[in-house]
Amino acid sequence: MAQTATSAFLTLLFLTSLSKASEDDMPSNCSKLKKNSWRDYLRGSKHEIQFLLFTRENPECGQIFNDQAEILNSTFNSTLGTKFIIHGFRVVSTTPSWINGTVKALLHAADVNVVVVDFNGGATYSSFVDKMNSTSLQVSRIISYLIALGSTQDSIHLIGLSLGAHLAGFVGYLHGGRLGQITGLDPAGPQFTGASIDARLDPTDAIFVEAIHTDIDNLGIRIPVGHIDYFINGGKDQPACPSNPLSFFRYMTCDHTHAVHIYMNAIKAVNSSCHMFGIPCSSYEEFINGNCLDCFDPFQQSCPRIGLEKHGGITVEALPQQVKLYLMTSPTAPFCAYHSLIDLHSDTDRTKNTEVEIILYSKASTDKVTITVPKKTYHFKRVITHQEPLCNVHTLQLRYRVKLFSRLSGNKEENINIAKICIQELPFNDSEKTRACFINIHLPLNTKVIHTVKTECR
Ligand SMILES: *[C@@H]1O[C@H](CO)[C@@H](O)[C@H](O)[C@H]1NC(C)=O
Ligand SMILES: *[C@@H]1O[C@H](CO)[C@@H](O)[C@H](O)[C@H]1NC(C)=O
Ligand SMILES: *[C@@H]1O[C@H](CO)[C@@H](O)[C@H](O)[C@H]1NC(C)=O
Ligand SMILES: *[C@@H]1O[C@H](CO)[C@@H](O)[C@H](O)[C@H]1NC(C)=O
Ligand SMILES: *[C@@H]1O[C@H](CO)[C@@H](O)[C@H](O)[C@H]1NC(C)=O
Ligand SMILES: *[C@@H]1O[C@H](CO)[C@@H](O)[C@H](O)[C@H]1NC(C)=O
């Protein structure tokens, strides 16, 4: 455990590259996030904690929000909901660069009060962990005051990244789990994975707790911690992040902080037809292999989606706990992708694995995936992603490919037959309108075979 923590700390040290300080363009009466330099530490003049309020009346300009007088003299409106943004570990001399964008996205999407919790957790990961309880008391003090001013507990929503997600959990715990919502953005793993539920984020910390996992094999927590837990692309490696350790700084932290970008883009895309919804499943492999296709159990078809909808759009009354949800994303912003199942029946007795290239053409996009159908398999399923809804896809192109190397080493199957191939968009439900099937397809080696897709957009 100590070792993981040390390596996490070393990794986080490199966050510097990512948390460039913003020296700015704001009017001078606006308050900003503070950063501590090593010199502040040595002088003992380091900043401990401050709260900054942003509202639609004052979206660009932080208002100091530390005590009752300042709260009363601000544009805070207790009839609106309030969202707290809580950062994680930060490197000396930096401020978290994602906060301004998140504030903007939230205020654009909803008329709310946004409170940024700007605090100094010390220079190391473990000093940060030690300070989390005292910091959560300070956040709780502000919340109690907002409630005294007329805010309802239900209207309070805490959004925390990494260690900030567990800190949000502590704050929720101090309020008896009665605050409305906590969103954990890749909640930190080191020192928390094995912790008791009192010492980490868990579903009892708020009425609704959700988490977005993007780095469970490094800095994020592996286990589900909310009512619902989205594991983006399985929660490990993000297509938007470099897989090449040569781009070292981004490589170490990109997956972890990608949760912020997923959340921000989901909020911004509120009017888009592409929703980042998750499908409940026991594992990513099961999901990819087409064994989880709808949200019937346990959500009665209301697939949870990332964004600001109440309870993630879940309409069942008794919220289930620790439901693992899976979705894939595209490598570029806004990251949202449509998902479809490829369901293939082959009647060739294949003695080798078969690669089939599938291309979906729509007016606005072309998506290419290659599936590998294992030898001696007659029924194969795979979930793929595409950029346009399936109802906009007009052509499906298939090609049976055998690499030269494989041919030289004795692959003699010159063509294959597909008895039936269907493509259908997720989530499956009563409607089969977005399903297209083709039967008896003969695929000669390395030859493009084209079919017209006719599905209707509803
Ligand atoms: C937030 O700050 C960062 C770094 O200071 C800057 O690059 C970025 O453009 C800002 N984003 C917004 C939305 O203002
Ligand atoms: C800051 O100053 C600008 C220009 O002087 C003014 O428009 C703005 O309302 C002020 N903001 C606050 C929070 O006082
Ligand atoms: C109230 O807020 C305004 C704008 O932020 C500031 O200029 C003024 O000094 C504040 N007044 C008090 C009593 O704090
Ligand atoms: C607070 O928000 C409510 C709801 O939008 C609005 O009706 C009211 O005028 C606002 N109060 C102030 C003081 O701005
Ligand atoms: C913080 O508080 C929780 C819950 O009371 C406790 O389990 C945990 O040990 C505390 N952590 C520290 C570092 O004091
Ligand atoms: C089926 O799924 C679509 C897409 O999510 C949704 O719009 C529709 O309401 C669902 N229908 C039923 C009967 O659940």
- What's the pLDDT band for 266 if we cut at 50, 70, 90? very high
Mean pLDDT on 203-214: 98
Is there a contact between 392 and 363 (Cβ–Cβ < 8 Å)?
A: yes
Mean pLDDT on 301-326: 96
- Looking at residue 458, its pLDDT comes to 67
| Sequential DSSP letters for 159-183 | EEETHHHHHHHHHHHHTTT-SSEEE
- Looking at residue 25, its pLDDT comes to 46
Range name among 18-27, 198-207, 221-230, 289-298 with the lowest pLDDT average? 18-27
- What's the pLDDT band for 303 if we cut at 50, 70, 90? very high
- Looking at residue 2, its pLDDT comes to 40
- CATH 1.10.1760.20 is held by the domain 5-327: no
Reported as a single tens digit per residue, the pLDDT across 363-385 is: 999 999 999 999 889 999 999 99
Q: What integer best gives the mean pLDDT of the chain?
A: 89
Q: What is the value of pTM for the model shown?
A: 0.90
Is there a contact between 19 and 97 (Cβ–Cβ < 8 Å)?
A: yes
Task: Decide whether any atom of ligand 6 lies within 6 Å of the 301 Cβ.
Answer: yes
Is there a contact between 364 and 391 (Cβ–Cβ < 8 Å)?
A: no
> What is the rounded distance in angstroms from the CA atom of residue 4 to the CA atom of residue 9?
8
Reported as a single tens digit per residue, the pLDDT across 136-185 is: 999 999 999 999 999 999 999 999 999 999 999 999 999 999 999 999 99
54 alpha carbon, closest ligand: 2
Residue 77 CA: nearest ligand 4 atom is 1
Reported as a single tens digit per residue, the pLDDT across 45-56 is: 677 899 999 999
Q: Residue 413's closest CA among 344, 346, 359, 358?
A: 346
List the domain boundaries for the chain.
5-327, 338-452
How long is the chain? Answer: 458
The pLDDT of residue 231 is above 70: yes
The pLDDT of residue 347 is above 70: yes
* CATH class label, 338-452: mainly beta
> What is the rounded distance in angstroms from the CA atom of residue 193 to the CA atom of residue 200?
8
The pLDDT of residue 349 is above 90: no
- Looking at residue 23, its pLDDT comes to 43
Reported as a single tens digit per residue, the pLDDT across 382-440 is: 999 999 999 999 999 999 987 777 666 766 667 888 999 999 999 998 666 678 999 99
CA of residue 39 relative to chain centroid, distance: 36
Is there a contact between 364 and 388 (Cβ–Cβ < 8 Å)?
A: yes
Ligand 2 pocket, CB under 6 A: 27, 29, 58, 61, 63
The rounded Å distance from CA 312 to ligand 3 centre is 38
Reported as a single tens digit per residue, the pLDDT across 235-255 is: 999 999 987 777 666 677 899
Q: Is 451 a catalytic residue?
A: no
Strand pairing report for 393-401 and 354-362: antiparallel
The rounded Å distance from CA 265 to ligand 1 centre is 15
> What is the rounded distance in angstroms from the CA atom of residue 178 to the CA atom of residue 155?
10
The pLDDT of residue 15 is above 50: no
Span between the terminal Cα atoms of the chain, in Å: 52
Range name among 1-15, 153-167, 190-204, 407-421 with the lowest pLDDT average? 1-15
> What is the rounded distance in angstroms from the CA atom of residue 291 to the CA atom of residue 252?
32
Indicate if 338-452 has the same CATH topology as 5-327.
no
Give the CA distances from residue 322 to residues 78, 201, 279, in Å, rounded to whole numbers and listed in that order.
Answer: 32, 12, 13
- Looking at residue 180, its pLDDT comes to 98
Give the CA distances from residue 265 to residues 160, 172, 270, 325, 444, in Å, rounded to whole numbers and listed in that order.
Answer: 16, 26, 9, 18, 43
Point out the catalytic residue in the list 166, 213, 227, 256: 256
Residues with Cβ < 8 Å from 301, sequence gap 6 or more? 294, 295, 427, 429
The pLDDT of residue 81 is above 50: yes
The Cα diameter of the chain in Å comes to: 81
Q: Residue 159's closest CA among 53, 88, 77, 72?
A: 88
Q: Is 162 a catalytic residue?
A: yes
> What is the rounded distance in angstroms from the CA atom of residue 237 to the CA atom of residue 234?
8
Where b means 16+ CB within 10 Å and e means fewer, 180-209 reads bbbbbbbbbbbbbbeeeeebbbbbebbbbb
Amino acid identity of 338?
Y
The pLDDT of residue 32 is above 90: no
